[in-house]
Structure 1
């Protein structure tokens, strides 16, 4: 009997082979940036991603200015203890409702 040709789940662990690790990083980085681009295009979201490779090279993607996104994030009051609900927690809860 022939097995279905579907993607198999791989075990998540650090790869020991440096060459394979670099190839996987490059492929996953491309996929991550592609998804971020689609998210910004389809939803109008401001997206910025900064990634360091295993060889300490910097790769980045942004749809809006990184500085404006970081400043907007830092302006949020993320300290626990105030009576206002944390907007990040509310967004996460709303995302999990589906």
Structure 2
């Protein structure tokens, strides 16, 4: 009888193969969004995650919504007067 391999420890480094990279991103993104949803449900936390795929597609997950959390973040944490703008804030403002 063959012994199952089980889970194997992987080296944490950027994946070079594009197909494997996309598959890993999709699986890990789903897991990350599930954990964010669980955190929100169990603890009542407001959670927002914005993720850019290797092919530059945007994926977002939030509770109650990404927009409301970003609006709250922008309102409570006014950025200091600098020329460098936070890319999340710029993307949100361009969406409006």
What's the TM-score, normalizing by structure 1? 0.65
CA–CA distance in structure 1, aligned partners of residues 66 and 23 of structure 2? 27
Structure 1 unpaired stretches of 5+: 80-98
Structure 2, unaligned runs of 5 or more: 80-96
Alpha-carbon RMSD: 2.6
In 1, Cα distance between the equivalents of 2:66 and 2:8? 36
In structure 1, the partner of 2:39 is 39
Provide the residue aligned with 1:69 in structure 2: 69
Distance 2:6 2:43 in 1: 29
Look up the match of 1:13: 13
Please say which of residues 15-24 and 64-73 is displaced more in the overlay: 64-73
Query: 1:57 Cα shift?
Result: 0.6
Q: How many residues align?
A: 77
CA drift at 1:75 = 4.3
Is the 8 Å Cα contact of residues 51 and 58 (structure 2) preserved in structure 1? yes
